Amino acid sequence: MRPVLQLLRPQVEARIASLCVGWLGGADGALAASLEKPCRQLAGPVSRCLVEETDASGNSLAVVSDMLSGRLGDSSELVVKRCAARLLGLPPDSLREVSLREIANQFRAPSQPQVQTQSR
């Protein structure tokens, strides 16, 4: 699945950069504009990590399915946690018990929808 994941990486990278600008810049247009370059720079290593951790997870098909549906399922959440830990210099499974949905929902404006997950 790694070749498929590599093909999806540019879209994932663009989405990460866009989410970064939106979450951090909010409604402040000037701030959002100033965050575009740093968010693009962050998106590269994050997307590479996501591809590598997805490939290593053994659940590539589930993660790709989640990506295509725009949802964060159990397999995808584990990959995100492992990447977050890796990028923060923590042991790979150190964030296993952390609820990413709760963290993400804390950063959402009240008018934005809650982060949804795909149950299996």
Q: Which two tokens stand for residue 2?
A: 């790694």
| Each residue's pLDDT tens digit, 91-107 | 988 888 988 777 766 66
Q: Which residues of the chain have pLDDT under 50?
A: 119-120
Contact predicate 20/50, CB 8 Å: no
Q: What is the pTM of this model?
A: 0.74
CB atoms within 10 A of CB 65: 15
| Cα gap 32→113, rounded to integer Å | 20
pLDDT for 88 equals 87
Q: Enumerate residues 6+ apart whose C-beta is below 8 A from 59.
A: 75, 78, 79
